[in-house]
Amino acid sequence: MTSPSIPLAPSVAVRPGDRSRAIIVAIGLSMLAAGLYLAVGTQASGTDEFIPLAAALLRGDLAVEARSWVELVPVGSVWYVPFPPVPALFYLPVVAVMGDRPWNEELAAGVMPAILGGVAVGLAYLLLRKRDVAEGPALWITGGFALTTLWWVAGTSGTHHMAQVSAVVFLLGALWFALDRHRPILAGLLFSLAVGSRLPVGASLPLFIYLYRGQTWRFLLGAVPVAALIGLYNLARFGSVTDFGYARIPSTAAANGLVTGEPWFSDGLESPTYITRGLTAALWSWPTIDLTQTPFIRPSLQSDSLLIAAPFLAWAAVARGRLAVAVGLSALLVILVDLMHGSVGFAQFGYRFILDATPLLLVLLGLAMPRRAPIPFRIAVLVGAIVTGYAFWAVSVDFLA
């Protein structure tokens, strides 16, 4: 017997005006992120891995061209991409039409994360409004989401950043249906695509099992096919359904010649011993001040505290109620997996791993302030946006000097 399809929080029909606003903010962020990519992100020329993977998949292959300067895994005479493959799906139509070096590969790689970042922003706003969050707080929450960590990740691009934005889009889609306990098969498909973009998102599975209690098998029916295909993808490359090849990445900085020999992986790829380091990166890493240089406040590209990069997220802790407990615990599980990773993300402003849990945190923010965004929250949104914008400027000064 299935549970009645009753939402755990108010749900309302999406209004036509909300759709228009969502489209406007989505296009706005896409253009902003793409413009910033042209100013900053193109310095990472030739570092994308999903476009070559899309080209390989279109020709019926799993191996990509050798690129010794990026994180690829050599097996005999061929090379494989050691990351979950779902983000490559977005490039399939581009590569099918324009070939494996469309417009200049880096421009295509930069534009796609910007577009997906815009889609994520539009989805976030619509999800909040669907949960009956008033227009004012929905816009403030969406603004904080759009102009902090997501803005940086969508605007600087790269393989890791594309994976983050892809996971956010799919997880938001899964939550769209799961919070109403509707369409469990489709929610399962979207969830598996999110996990197939960023593995730590898989730690939120208990939330979906809880939301779809009584019809869990339908959710799994949607999720299992993608998981099975990814397992077969790994099996064909490395002989194991769970081996993505990350531990096989070559590294000239390690004594054993592999990424696992780098100092931040001293206890393996994942370990509870890394939690303190992860928390320091997420909450207690600060820009440096050097009055002899311009800019004299210089953000670190290893990590910067979310307390200045995205302080509005702290209001997620204010949410109360049964749904808040379920979503909050799932967000903590996802964050814990990220904190236990040996690397803290690097190539970032702020702490980009927080994006794995951000769709869940947005739900909590909506529950915390359904009718009105308090003034301190608005200040926190503005601080995050200004600080992130400053970081873009500071980095561009270095890149363009």
pLDDT in tens, the chain (401 residues): 344 444 455 677 666 677 777 787 778 777 777 666 665 555 555 678 999 999 999 999 999 988 777 889 999 999 999 999 999 999 999 899 888 775 656 667 778 888 898 899 999 999 999 999 999 999 999 999 999 999 889 888 889 999 999 999 999 999 999 999 999 999 999 999 999 999 999 999 999 999 999 999 999 999 999 999 999 999 999 999 999 999 999 998 888 889 999 999 999 999 999 999 999 999 999 888 887 888 888 888 888 999 999 999 999 999 999 999 999 999 999 999 999 999 998 878 899 999 999 999 999 999 999 999 999 999 999 999 999 999 988 887 765 44
Tokens of 112: 């796609």
State the pLDDT at residue 68: 72
Of 193, 184, 174, 241, the closest CA to residue 90 belongs to 193
| pLDDT computed for residue 318 by the predictor | 96
| Cα angle 377-148-270, degrees, rounded to a multiple of 5 | 110
CA max distance for the chain = 70
Q: What is the pLDDT of residue 6?
A: 42
Place of tokens 């070096």: 101
| pTM of the shown model | 0.93
CB 120 within 8 A of CB 169: yes
Give the alpha-carbon dihedral of 241, 275, 205, 242, to 10 degrees.
0
